[in-house]
């Protein structure tokens, strides 16, 4: 059996345009939502209000102990019923695979971004916090104007590394028949009977993009030194 480069030549542009666009959009939206929710969880874990800290810690530990593919299936089947319960509908609401996947990845990645942000916040000198409090800043003002900007800047390489992991994990939405990059390539592979060629193409694209992003992370790390 010969490796057929022609099937890649005929379909690579369409697969990249449709599939990779979907994958990148889901990655960016899940990253943004995950960072925001993860920051809130980190602040909750560092809170002096013990019930809130325990609740946030329980959520983070639970999410990190469950396989992502299981969470994807769980939310895909649960969200329609949960949405119906919220709005009081009699029938499950058609949420769609994209929104189910976005909710799943946002909630899942928030647990990991939370630990990154918690480490970044903890690395900020307490002297700066005390100085902000001496200037009359409240807790949230101190966090928003003094601590979080520094923590985000310090943790940017680690946040980007976790985003690379998220970019790779998005391929798991293939199990929901969502037209992501892997799903688009799989349809071409099954149509033309060229699984080896198309999946090799997918592997090469992921390798190149992840190496480029990793190089960016290393450059940011060197710039901070």
197-201 contact pairs (CB < 8 A, 24+): 197/3, 197/4, 197/5, 197/7, 197/8, 198/7, 198/8, 198/11, 198/15, 200/3, 201/8, 201/12, 201/15
Largest CA distance in the chain: 74
Query: What does the pLDDT read at residue 121?
Result: 82
Range of the domain at 36: 5-224
For residues 61-80, one letter each, b for 16 or more C-beta atoms within 10 angstroms of the residue's C-beta and e for the rest, the string is eebeeeeeeebbbebbebbb
Return d(Cα 197, Cα 10) in angstroms, integer. 12
What percent of the chain clears pLDDT 90, i.e. is strictly above it?
A: 29
**Concatenated DSSP letters of 30-46:** HHHHHHHHHHHHHHHHT
Question: In the structure encoding, which two tokens stand for residue 98, read together?
Answer: 């994209």
CA count, 13 A, side-chain hemisphere, 71: 20
> Residue 33's domain is classified under what CATH number?
1.10.3720.10
Query: What does the pLDDT read at residue 1?
Result: 59
Query: What does the pLDDT read at residue 151?
Result: 81
Tens digits of residue pLDDT in 73-128 = 888 888 788 878 888 888 888 877 888 889 889 999 999 999 998 888 877 777 77
Looking at residue 170, what DSSP letter applies?
Answer: G
Q: Which residues in the chain come in under a pLDDT of 50?
A: none
Whole-model pTM: value is 0.85
Q: Name, in order, each residue with C-beta under 8 angstroms of 181's C-beta and a sequence gap of 6 or more.
A: 15, 16, 19, 20, 22, 23, 171, 202, 205
- Count CB-CB contacts under 10 A for residue 16: 16
Return d(Cα 27, Cα 21) in angstroms, integer. 10
Count of domains observed in the chain: 1
């Amino acid at each position: 059996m010969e490796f057929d480069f022609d099937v890649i030549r005929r379909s690579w542009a369409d697969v990249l345009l449709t599939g990779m666009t979907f994958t990148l959009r889901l990655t960016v939206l899940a990253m943004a939502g995950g960072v925001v929710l993860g920051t809130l969880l980190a602040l909750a874990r560092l809170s002096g209000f013990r019930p809130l800290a325990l609740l946030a810690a329980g959520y983070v530990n639970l999410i990190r102990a469950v396989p992502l593919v299981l969470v994807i299936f769980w939310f895909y089947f649960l969200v329609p019923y949960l949405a119906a319960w919220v709005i009081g509908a009699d029938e499950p609401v058609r949420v769609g695979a994209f929104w189910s996947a976005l909710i799943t990845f946002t909630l899942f990645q928030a647990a990991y971004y939370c630990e990154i942000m918690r480490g970044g916040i903890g690395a900020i000198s307490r002297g700066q916090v005390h100085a902000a409090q001496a200037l009359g800043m409240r807790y949230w003002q101190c966090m928003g104007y003094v601590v979080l900007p520094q923590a985000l800047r310090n943790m940017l390489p680690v946040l980007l590394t976790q985003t690379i992991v998220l970019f790779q994990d998005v391929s798991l939405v293939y199990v929901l028949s969502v037209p992501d990059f892997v799903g688009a390539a799989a349809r071409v592979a099954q149509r033309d009977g060229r699984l080896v060629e198309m999946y090799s193409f997918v592997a090469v694209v992921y390798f190149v993009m992840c190496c480029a992003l990793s190089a960016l992370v290393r450059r940011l790390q060197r710039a901070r030194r």
